[in-house]
Amino acid sequence: MTERRPPAADGSAGPIPRQRPAFVVDAFGAGPVRVDAAWLLAVFVALLLLIPANLTIAALGSIGTPALIVGLFALLWWLGSQMNRTTSTLTPAQPIRRAMFCFTIAVLFSYVAATVRPLDGFELNGADRGLLLIASWLGIVLLTSDGLVGIARLEAPLRLLVLFGAVVAVVGIAQFLTRIPFVDVIQIPGLTPNNELTSIYNRSGFTRAAGTSTHPIEFGVVLSMILPIALHFAFADTHRNHLARWLPVAVIAFAVPITISRSALVGVAVALLVLIPSWSVQRRRISYVVIAAGILAIFVTIPGMVGSLTKLFTGISEDGSARSRTDSYSLALDFISRSPIFGRGISTFLPEYRILDNQYLGLLIEVGVVGTLAAAGLFLVAIVSAVRSRRLTQDPKARSLAQSLAAMVAAGACTFATFDAFGFPQASGLMFLGIGCIGALSNTLRRNADSTGGLRPVAPLA
């Protein structure tokens, strides 16, 4: 527990005490061992990004990714810790936790709605897989928000996220330059390919890289969500050299356009729209110059790329993928009208029926209006919580982290309207990790504000 410190001689609240991690392991009565949630979440990030998304545990099918298993373990860990505590971590109420519970309950209602109607075996299996997905995401959100205490522990898995994001970005750049997939030869004992993963696609005469993701769209969205976190550390980690801080930003930013994905470009645009207004005037001016220089560099080094990227938006009426999205509306409305409240059941609208390329449309079909509003509300609550957390502190590093997490979730929330995100493990897993991180930051800053008796802590947070 945090102790209230007496005021220092200068009238300030004094240094903020270091908090004991919320989740530790007791080694068979030998006393608490410092194995906290940050370790498990670091493993989650590594498995999510570094293992090709098509490698799964065969018995679980498409959802049997190692990262999903870690999410289920996180849920069990959180539940076990709640039952083993003398004081509850559920008070005071945490908006993100409450919103996540609301979304989970809405999904459970949709599952009930599915099982009370005639259901074939494939759809029932899909509904069961959907429950496992939700349970895994719930575990990640709960363990992250309640298990990461302090800015230092929160930043630990996020630093790995940036590092591994840079690694897969380099893989994507290599795929683009060589037209060699690389990841298709990776074999891991116990994991089998769930589908063919070539990581090489073509569009407008260019090779589209997919990194370790299942598709270039997912790869681009993942990078656009990681980019604001990379920018945070590039600006905040002044104790590191410039190359270590800015190389991840450079490779991630370069890898985004070579996915040749509208979703990726929309994600980056949204992230920058959230980030740039929070920067100083000087930093904004520099950022505009850097963005212009980056576009010019792509124009010079990759002839035709800028034109192809521009045509993704100017020629959208002639694009086959865009027409496929709009042609799906009539079919989707027909399904929605049959079960508008709770939907036909989570994950029961199978890809064989139609590829909607719009997660919100898919949610309306599967979990109804109630579930869709709960999901949109969860994303909105996360973004608002990040913005409010930023106002709780004057520490520049904490303020930057809050804005970056808001940009990360905002980018994901907007791009979810352009592809079936819940069917892509990396993009969906990263989204819920970001939501959990916002919960952890909110908890930390609220505790700090309570301990100082106000909303303006004078010491950096640990």
- Which ranges constitute the DSSP H helices of 237-275? 242-255, 262-275
d(CA 406, CA 384): 8
pLDDT category of residue 455 using cuts at 50, 70 and 90 = very low
d(CA 302, CA 78): 49
pLDDT of residue 72: 95
Return the top range by mean pLDDT from 28-32, 265-269, 302-306. Answer: 265-269
d(CA 410, CA 250): 21
Partnered with residue 25 across adjacent β-strands are 33
- Provide mean pLDDT across the span 201-205: 69
d(CA 95, CA 386): 11
Task: Give the residue among 246, 235, 248 at the shortest CA–CA distance from 401.
Answer: 235
As for how many domains the chain has, the answer is 1
pLDDT of residue 319: 66
Neighbouring CB atoms inside 10 A of 364's CB total 23
Name the packing angle between helices 368-391 and 359-366 (round to 10°): 130
Task: Give the residue among 69, 76, 64, 78 at the shortest CA–CA distance from 44.
Answer: 69
In a domain, 264, yes or no: yes
Choose the weakest-confidence range: 57-71, 395-409, 441-455: 441-455
d(CA 369, CA 282): 45
In a domain, 306, yes or no: no
21 three-state secondary structure: coil
pLDDT of residue 459: 40
pLDDT (tens digit per residue) in 332-389? 898 899 989 999 999 998 888 888 889 999 999 999 999 999 999 999 999 999 999 9
Partnered with residue 354 across adjacent β-strands are none
In a domain, 101, yes or no: yes
In a domain, 165, yes or no: yes
DSSP secondary structure, 54-78, as one string: TEE-GGGGGG--HHHHHHHHHHHHH
In a domain, 431, yes or no: yes
In a domain, 327, yes or no: yes
DSSP secondary structure, 165-204, as one string: HHHHHHHHHHHHHH----GGG---TT-EESS----EEEET
Q: Which residues contact 67 (CB under 8 A, 6 or more apart)?
A: 44, 47, 48, 51, 425, 429
In a domain, 307, yes or no: no
Which DSSP letter does residue 337 get? H
pLDDT of residue 2: 42
In a domain, 289, yes or no: no
Q: Determine what percent of the chain is predicted with pLDDT higher than 70.
A: 84
- Domain of 221, in residue numbers: 25-278+315-452
Max distance between CA atoms of the chain, in angstroms, equals 72
pLDDT of residue 458: 37
